[in-house]
């Protein structure tokens, strides 16, 4: 699996998310500053709510921009035979089946399709990301998921 292609797909998905978030920011900003958002009495909170929404959208845009910068600066190379670290593409064996994960700097939870395979992006801040850091091919471990232990095995690292 080509990690450079995977990185490009993640960046493309982040760019799409950024466009959507910027549109939402623009709409929420317009709603917050629109004349109809002006309070008619002391209990009218439409303007305040719209301002909170706009602020949340602004933070989301900033998060996506930071994730984009992280992925644009991420050096991906083959990590075969090396321990898992940032930029590793890992195949895991779980009780529920086989799973591809990519240990990226950000955008955890994102999923992209590469060569008919679904790849889940995780970060070193996630429980699975923390557990996998430093593991090598053949290592096994256990992780609590919803309070239940789930075993995993590291099959390959790229």
Task: Please report the pLDDT score of residue 114 as a whole number.
Answer: 92
Q: pLDDT at position 30, please?
A: 77
Does residue 94 sit in the same domain as residue 152?
Answer: yes
- 64 and 34 within one domain: yes
Q: Would you state the pLDDT for residue 40?
A: 61
Query: So what's the pLDDT on residue 128?
Result: 93
**What local confidence, expressed as pLDDT, does residue 108 receive?**
93
The domain in which residue 101 lies consists of 88-157
* 97 and 147 both lie in a single domain: yes
Cα distance between residue 112 and residue 9, in whole Å: 7
Q: Is 79 part of any domain? A: no
Q: What confidence tens digit (pLDDT) does each residue in 72-111 have?
A: 999 999 999 999 999 999 999 998 899 999 999 999 999 9
* DSSP percent split of the chain into helix, strand, coil, nearest 5: 45, 25, 30
- Does residue 78 lie in a domain region? no
Provide the percentage of residues in the chain whose pLDDT is more than 70: 89
pTM of the model: 0.85
Domain count, the chain: 2
């Amino acid at each position: 699996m080509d990690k450079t292609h995977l990185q490009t797909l993640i960046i493309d998905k982040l760019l799409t998310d950024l466009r959507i978030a910027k549109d939402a920011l623009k709409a929420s900003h317009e709603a917050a500053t629109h004349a109809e958002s002006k309070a008619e009495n002391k209990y009218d909170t439409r303007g305040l709510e719209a301002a909170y929404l706009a602020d949340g959208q602004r933070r989301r845009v900033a998060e996506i921009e930071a994730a984009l910068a992280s992925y644009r600066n991420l050096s991906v190379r083959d990590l075969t035979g090396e321990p898992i670290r940032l930029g590793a593409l890992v195949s895991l064996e779980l009780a529920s089946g086989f799973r591809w994960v990519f240990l990226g700097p950000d955008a955890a939870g994102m999923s992209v399709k590469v060569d008919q395979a679904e790849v889940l992006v995780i970060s070193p801040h996630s429980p699975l990301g923390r557990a996998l850091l430093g593991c090598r091919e053949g290592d096994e471990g256990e992780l609590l998921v919803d309070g239940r232990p789930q075993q995993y095995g590291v099959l390959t690292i790229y």
